[in-house]
Structure 1
Amino acid sequence: MKKTVKSIAVAIAAVVSGVVVACSGGGGSAAGDFAEAEDLRADSIAINEIIQPNNILFRDGYAVISSPKNKKVLFRYSLPGWEITDTSLTRGEGPGDLNDAVLLKQNRKDDTLWISEPNKRMLLKAVMNPGGISVEEEIRLQGYDLWLWNSAFVVDGKSIVNTKLDFWDTEETKVYSYDMTDSMAVRDSVLCLTRAYIEKHDDGKSKWASATISNSPEIQIVGDRMAIWYPDTRNTMIYRIGADGRFVPEKTFGEPLTYEQVKNMDFKNIKRDEAENFVSADEDYLYFKYVKTKKVEDNTEDNAGGPSGNAPKPEKRENVALELRVYDWDMNPVKKFTLDKVNGTSLFIDRANGKVYSYDRSLDFEYVYVYDFKI
């Protein structure tokens, strides 16, 4: 994926090819392998909505979805049947309307929801009510270089954890902890072992940059624990987040690599028949999706990719296998499931109801696939 940004670089979650690494903390490696996979078959629930979700959160028997395209911002569905309950908040230009609102992830589950409004540099604290979702507090953010998208986490309503690439100076990617006030002061940061291919432009009137980012970190936070996964080098780093918002290294799994080593790696020609990505976590387990693909014939016209447009045309691929892989917080394999809807790769775990939900982004939100699972 390529992300192009104007002269003042903003938050990123751009993932292209990757290779993963270890940052800091005690060394370790997961042992063993999975037992034979359990096959799961999905029931399909027709939703028939054009939502294009940019985030989905599960709260007290509901799924709350933020949509970037609809007149309404939030859609709430009751679980596990996915019956629409209500829609809330309006997108538009009027007083109190929102523009680019997106739900932020949270480390704890309660009735509070946090919504980012990037263009207005604003955070909204919302609450779930029987008849809908309403905003009860606004925080105006100072500064122009911080955009909060759907990869950001709110931690205990006191700090925000977000990933950001410095396009102009260091060209480094870091995971930051920010004070959750209007100043958004930095509390701590962790250097990520990613590789950024950056092109900078200046036409005399404005500056902008584009980047292809390899080995982008994938983050989940539960309580005071943060897990960072680097998908291609298959490294996991576990941190504790202190009451002061600082990161305390706890465990590292996988071969440690330095930032300098990763900077010198060539990620452009990595074979990508398989990928394992971090999709969810709870107090006991870390959940990953594994996707296997194969190359298929592509008769469409060439369409060069990459920041400059000069990169080779990407291969056309189709999914041939989809798995849900469950590890404990020491990265020991716990259980593996094969999922029959191989194109339903947007996965969400509802362990309380014993369900895995998925949908196929190419079909938008026409169907939700529901699997019964038990660890």
Structure 2
Amino acid sequence: MKHVFCAVLSVLCVFSISCTREKIPAGMAGLVFRFGPLFEPAVKSSDLLVPDTNDFILYLSDASGEYVYSGFYGDKPEKFELKPGSYTAKVISREFNVPAFDTPQFGDEVCFILEKDEEAAVEFGCTQLNSGIRLVINDSFISDYDGGVIFLTSGDGRLMYSYNEKRVAYFNPGAVSLKFLYEGTESVLFTKILDPREMLTVNLGSGGDSGNTDKAGITISVDTSRVWNEFDYSFGGDKGGSMEDALTVDEARGHVGDEDVWVCGYVVGGDLTSSGISFAAPFRTYTNLAIAASRSIRDRDECLSVSLPVGEVRDGLNLVENPDVLGKKVFLKGNIVASYFGLVGIKDVAEYEIL
């Protein structure tokens, strides 16, 4: 995705380059950077404080990936004199590598070509690069699960989220899981794939832009139209007792050990192994399939594994003989287990329904 983004911007740069022949050494190219006015958000919040422009970090690298400049924007030369060729310019408001509270990261990246004996000015916008999660924990959850510990985790690390925490937890885009430690047992309540700029509010309960641009330099404008989504999750309770009250894929992760419960989801793949899932036909395995919260999901960590027992269930659901089941919404009644092919899974499926 990053390379496609840069390729598009490099085309835009062709139209935003202004050329002069003043005071550039023969055979070289000039490059000038300048900040435009920052976009002021309509609604300000404590976590949306944009640093002084001089405190932004600028990276400028050549086609080999070697840095021509790496440091604070305020410390850069007024004008760069460079060899002609392809370059990448990146600006960020802060470094962000591990999960942290109240740490939105803004920035952008542009690929462009410098021509001999020309001075170029490159323009690019600035949007939020990372993602955020805010938990809203209701009183019933706090009362029913006193002493529990919540963690938000990703491949970059984890954050403990206390019951009275009000801040937004920020992560790099990708899979983020909510884990719950209670009475010595840690379980994954759900896993979500977060996109850049996505700000997810999770309501946790128990069972019951653009800125002005200037041809003489780079314009940095903060896009505050961040995407806020809301998600309700109920932990515990008696859900799953009927097809009408079936557990979702995310809810099923909080019901490991439950037996004879209904779970609903979309069939997204089959041919499961300990490290992979096939998401497209043809399929070779009769004994299993994978379901997810959406038919478009292609991330293994967002799936539940399903064991298909011999008999009517396997005959009706296996993807080798029933390829049309792929993408269909299904209801399954079975036992939720902690691990089947390394994922929370459903075994001993006794009944099913295809919509």
Structure holding more helix per residue: 2
Q: TM-score, normalised by structure 1?
A: 0.22
